[in-house]
């Protein structure tokens, strides 16, 4: 297999594509534009898809359409390749990063639920004390 150039060009290294509503996950860029935006070759993009590194959307006719998220992922792939990591390693790294993101999101949800339960519990304890105090006052003989 021949080497595939993945180095970003000076024009597109750090400049994200312009954002339009709903575009982050919607495939809008053709393969040539995606290659230009990432500084990669069209062949590299096809290779990364074959290796399972990304799955661009497809038109009914089968044409690849890359989203902003795909462009970001391709740039991440390029950075990892520049760091000397092979494609199998990149698959593993991206999988672990996705797992980490999912775990972080789940942890945040659990923390929010825990906070809500603590708040509810404090309110129940306060109400319990209030009810016990009312009941005790009823049992006190008139003076």
Residue 32 pLDDT > 70: yes
Residue environment code for 30-51, b if the CB has 16+ CB neighbours within 10 A, otherwise e? bbeebbbbbbbeeebbebbeee
Residue 129 pLDDT > 60: yes
pLDDT (average), residues 54-82: 95
Identify the pLDDT of residue 14. 46
Sign of CA pseudo-dihedral 36, 45, 57, 85: negative
Identify the pLDDT of residue 11. 42
Residue 52 pLDDT > 80: yes
- How many whole angstroms separate alpha carbon 101 and alpha carbon 86? 22
Give the residue extent of every domain in the chain: 1-85, 86-143
- Lowest-confidence segment of 26-35, 36-45, 48-57, 127-136 by average pLDDT: 127-136
71 vs 16, more confident: 71
pLDDT (average), residues 68-72: 96
Residue 142 pLDDT > 90: no
* pTM attached to this predicted model: 0.65
What is the pLDDT confidence band of residue 133, given thresholds at 50, 70 and 90? confident
Q: Which CATH architecture has domain 1-85?
A: Orthogonal Bundle (1.10)
Report pLDDT digits (tens) over 84-122.
999 999 999 999 999 999 999 999 999 999 999 999 999
């Amino acid at each position: 297999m021949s080497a595939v150039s993945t180095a970003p060009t000076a024009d597109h290294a750090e400049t994200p594509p312009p954002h339009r509503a709903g575009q982050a996950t919607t495939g809008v860029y053709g393969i040539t534009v995606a290659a230009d935006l990432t500084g990669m070759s069209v062949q590299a993009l096809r290779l990364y898809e074959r290796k399972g590194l990304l799955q661009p959307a497809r038109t009914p006719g089968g044409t690849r359409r890359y989203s902003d998220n795909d462009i970001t992922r391709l740039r991440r792939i390029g950075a990892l390749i520049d760091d000397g990591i092979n494609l199998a390693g990149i698959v593993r790294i991206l999988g672990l990063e996705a797992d980490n993101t999912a775990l972080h999101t789940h942890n945040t949800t659990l923390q929010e639920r825990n906070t809500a339960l603590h708040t509810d519990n404090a309110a129940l304890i306060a109400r319990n004390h209030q009810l016990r105090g009312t009941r005790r006052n009823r049992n006190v003989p008139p003076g």
